[in-house]
């Protein structure tokens, strides 16, 4: 298939583009230089010139804390930019996959969030991503919305890379132990997107690696796998802390766990357990050094 990937220099976009090429698809890996999504004209020209059958929209403003003060910037990319991509994609009759986030929920539920639960974002980032979802649904006729959480991959900066660095440099690390979610390896998420894009099973999907943990438990696993598989000299003593002990500008969801009801009911293969994805990430990271 002919596929255009936005945000192709980001950690998810790069993995998606690489996997598409590996699987024999024709790919345009588009980033800001090739197509500024905040320009309707640039989106129209680029997408109508290439005529993709699918657009996978990975580009996003993801600086969660910065968004609290740069409100216009977050909405310009996540809402206006998504509208522009949706309009241009609809004009040529292509499918659109929009990558969204657990932050569209308030994080206060005691059970996992299902795809059609009410959205109630608490941060500017979450609100801007919800705006993107609403625009996709109102402007597109062939759409998939894929919400994910706690994403990390080989490319770009992320929580796993930060913890590996700090674990080798700091004598002590405090990590929040009262926020839970599902870490998601970009390679596994990319695989699901490729499976999804060839279907007509439109709608909202939750896609994260299976299983749950807190940030503290995730860091414990990162250190264990790094020492066992990567041979990294982790020296930091790990200590759990509360959200209140580690204040951030933007509120974080206490519960980011999402139920994968749409994956089950549509007969897709669920993503593997998060610990397996983490092991493969550590192995792949070790090979790249």
Encode pLDDT of 211-264 as tens digits.
Answer: 999 999 999 999 999 988 778 888 899 999 999 998 899 999 999 999 999 999
Catalytic one of 75, 103, 125, 152: 125
CA 289 – CA 283 distance, rounded (Å): 10
Percent pLDDT > 70 in the chain is 99
Backbone angles phi, psi at 151, to 5 degrees: -80, 140
**Which domains, from first to last, does the chain contain?**
2-158+182-210+256-273 (3.40.50.720)
Give this prediction's pTM. Answer: 0.96
CA 117 – CA 209 distance, rounded (Å): 20
**Tokens of residue 12, six digits:** 């998810």
Could you report the per-residue pLDDT of 75-126, keeping only the tens digit for each? Answer: 999 999 999 999 999 999 999 999 999 999 999 999 999 999 999 999 999 9
CA 150 – CA 257 distance, rounded (Å): 10
DSSP assignment letter at 81: I
pLDDT top residue among 285 and 278: 278
Could you report the per-residue pLDDT of 143-193, keeping only the tens digit for each? Answer: 999 999 999 999 989 999 999 999 999 999 999 999 999 999 999 999 999
Q: What pLDDT is stored for residue 289 in this prediction? A: 60
Q: What pLDDT is stored for residue 32 in this prediction? A: 86
Q: What pLDDT is stored for residue 33 in this prediction? A: 85
pLDDT top residue among 265 and 247: 265
Could you report the per-residue pLDDT of 112-149, keeping only the tens digit for each? Answer: 999 999 999 999 999 999 999 999 999 999 999 999 99
**3-state secondary structure at position 172:** strand
Kindly tell me the sign of the dihedral angle through the C-alpha atoms of 193, 272, 168, 253.
Answer: positive
Q: 152 an active-site residue?
A: no
pLDDT of 277 higher than 90: yes
Q: What pLDDT is stored for residue 247 in this prediction? A: 86
């Amino acid at each position: 298939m002919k596929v255009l990937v936005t945000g192709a220099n980001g950690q998810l976009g790069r993995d998606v583009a690489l996997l598409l090429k590996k699987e024999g698809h024709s790919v345009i890996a588009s980033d800001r230089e090739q197509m500024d999504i905040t320009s309707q004209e640039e989106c129209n020209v680029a997408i109508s010139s290439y005529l993709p059958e699918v657009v996978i929209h990975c580009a996003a403003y993801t600086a969660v804390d910065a968004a609290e003060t740069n409100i216009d910037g977050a909405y310009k990319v996540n809402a206006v930019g998504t509208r522009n991509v949706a309009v241009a994609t609809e004009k040529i009759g292509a499918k659109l996959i929009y990558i969204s986030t657990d932050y569209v929920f308030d994080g206060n539920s005691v059970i996992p969030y299902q795809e059609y639960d009410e959205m109630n974002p608490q941060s500017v980032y979450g609100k801007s991503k919800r705006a993107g979802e609403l625009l996709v649904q109102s402007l597109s006729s062939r759409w998939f919305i894929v919400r994910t959480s706690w994403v990390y991959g080989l490319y770009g900066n992320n929580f796993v890379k930060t913890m590996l660095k700090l674990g080798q440099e700091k004598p002590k690390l405090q990590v929040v132990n009262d926020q839970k979610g599902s870490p998601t390896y970009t390679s596994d998420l990319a695989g699901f997107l490729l499976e999804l894009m060839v279907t007509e099973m439109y709608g909202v999907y939750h896609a994260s690696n299976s299983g749950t943990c807190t940030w503290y438990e995730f860091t414990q696993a990162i250190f264990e796998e790094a020492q066992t598989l990567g041979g990294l000299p982790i020296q930091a003593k790990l200590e759990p802390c509360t959200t209140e002990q580690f204040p951030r500008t933007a509120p974080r969801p206490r519960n980011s766990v999402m139920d994968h009801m749409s994956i089950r009911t549509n007969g897709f293969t669920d993503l593997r357990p998060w610990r397996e994805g983490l092991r493969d990430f550590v192995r792949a990271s070790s090979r790249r050094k």
